[in-house]
Amino acid sequence: MLLELVVRNHKLIRYAQVSFEEGFHVVTGQSGAGKSMFLSALRLISGDHLKGVKNTSEDVTLVEAVFDISENFKVSDILAGMDVLAEDGLLVLKRKIDEKNRSRIFINGAISTLKDLKNLSTHLIDIHTQNAHSLLRDSSSHLSYLDFYSPEIKEKLESYKLSYDLHQKLLSELKDLEKRSVITKEKRALMEFQMEEFQKVSLDQDNYQYLLSERKKIIQIQKLVDLKNMIRDLLDGEEGVISKMQSLTKVLEEATLLNDGFDKYGEVISDMNASIEDLYGQLSREISEDVSSDEDLEKIEEELYNIESLARKYKVSVEGLLGIKESLLKTMDLVFDKEFLLKEMSEKIESNEKILEEKAATISKSRLEGKSFLEKRMAQELLDLGIANAKFEARVLSSVFAETGKDAVSFWIQTNKGYPLLPLEKVASGGEFSRIVLAFKKVFASQGRVPTFVFDEVDANLGGEEAALVGKKLKSLAQDHQLICITHCPQIAMLADEHICVLKKDEGSSTLTEVKKLSEKESDLEVKRMLGGAAFFKLQCEEALLS
């Protein structure tokens, strides 16, 4: 619960320090005295984004709140997760705001974030402002209210959400499949032509490397054959070595006849002729054995040309062609096999819908149980608040699948006998709606674990007996929760355990707001002022409070 609130330099509040106890607190004061500043200070320490929080001075705005969290295990767990110590079961939240409206957050002295402040405050304090009226008038919020009273709803929703997410995923895939399956005749013809191009060639990377290797091998063989033929021609050509050697032999024979000394050269020439003829014969045999088909080379060249031309056409490497072909095949599979794929996907969706329907039915059953209990509680609370002929109904209607199930929930109410039930947002009377809101708070307070409630003008448009009944209900709510109520009604103020008064006073050339905790005697004076009377008497009360 809230133990203390310290405010410095917040709008017209120069300094205020207020302590709080258990039970029912009221905050009162004349219109324009600054009760809204007191409320905005509480909202600041709860993590709200508020504009215009600064006063006209250059001093830093400070709001500090001390909470007793000795029995608030949720907050203790959050702090443990943040590695923040809470000594003696106390939590100190501090927020500083500079002249540029920049915030610094401190949690038990450690610098923290606005997100952490908000997270903690949701388990510490529930501030009910006029915006809460708008929320309750919005039927889209009614389902979450009903779920507070629906048994085992959390576990059922978690299980349902898994199936719902899968359902949405399947629907998205089906939509994407249908979109990709729609194709024009021209596009289909183009895809078929492209596939024919790819089927004409083998895009296997090993095959491409093999073709390159074979081409190189054949070219090398052909070049070697050409060289061998050139050697053979040099040996056996018209002016070749063999012919020259024959001429040389004849010349030596003639020379030997004239001089037998040349006989020794004849033997050398004879050996040379034998070697040359042997070389010639060996080359001839090798040339005849070399296999180098021009047809094979042409076939390989053609296949390589087709592959490389295709790569140039699609502006990718040869390796990249395989990826394009696979993508094209996948797209064509989607197009040509769409009926099978669409049928398969539809069957998956239908199967999951059955599961989803079953889970949604268990959620609806829980909500119908919660509906009965909520209606009884609300009827009693409204009766206690003086709406004797009230009838409250939580209508649960079947709708389409959504994240929260298949139910649409709206609250209907009858506040006057003989009139039909109307949607809650159609209730025109501000006084009636204020009491309805309070009834909701009372009903749902027992379901929540927030120890401190703050009400801003829950008594709006009320007076007399109605205000007294609201006061009793607030007093009842304060038995289990610390309650702070900003009020204009003396009937409510007189029931408080603690009374805080917001006063406006002049100090030199400035007007300041003072926040003062009243004694029992001062509280009586303030209640008398609120009850009204002669202007002189009211002035006496105000002077006594300011003194």
Q: Looking at the structure, tell me whether residues 103 and 29 fall in a common domain.
A: yes
Q: Residues 6 or more apart from 373 whose CB is under 8 A from it? A: 149
537, pLDDT greater than 60:
no
Q: Looking at the structure, tell me whether residues 14 and 97 fall in a common domain.
A: yes
CA 246, chain centre distance (Å): 99
Q: Which of these three, 287, 321, 338, is where a domain ends?
A: 338
- 85 with 108: CB under 8 angstroms? yes
349 lies in some domain: no
330 lies in some domain: yes
Express each pLDDT in 418-459 by its tens digit.
Answer: 888 989 888 756 667 878 888 888 888 766 668 999 988 787
Express each pLDDT in 6-19 by its tens digit.
Answer: 999 988 888 999 99
Structurally, the chain folds into a number of domains equal to: 2
Residue 391 backbone dihedrals phi, psi, to 5 degrees: -130, 130
Q: Looking at the structure, tell me whether residues 108 and 198 fall in a common domain.
A: no
488, pLDDT greater than 80:
yes
Confidence of residue 520 (pLDDT cuts 50, 70, 90): very high
Express each pLDDT in 144-165 by its tens digit.
Answer: 889 988 889 999 999 999 999 9
4, pLDDT greater than 80:
yes
| DSSP secondary structure, 210-274, as one string | HHHHHHHHHHHHHHHHHHHHHHHHHHHSTTSHHHHHHHHHHHHHHHHHH-GGGHHHHHHHHHHHH
Q: Looking at the structure, tell me whether residues 200 and 79 fall in a common domain.
A: no
Q: Looking at the structure, tell me whether residues 236 and 119 fall in a common domain.
A: no
Q: Looking at the structure, tell me whether residues 106 and 215 fall in a common domain.
A: no
Q: Which of these three, 313, 338, 363, is where a domain ends?
A: 338
| Exposed e or buried b per residue across 127-141, where buried means at least 16 C-beta atoms within 10 angstroms of its C-beta | bbbeebbeebbebee
Q: Provide the residue range defining the domain that includes 324.
A: 186-338
Q: What is the pTM of this model?
A: 0.62
CATH number of the structural domain spanning residue 65: 3.40.50.300
301 lies in some domain: yes
Q: Which of these three, 338, 359, 375, is where a domain ends?
A: 338
Q: Looking at the structure, tell me whether residues 316 and 193 fall in a common domain.
A: yes
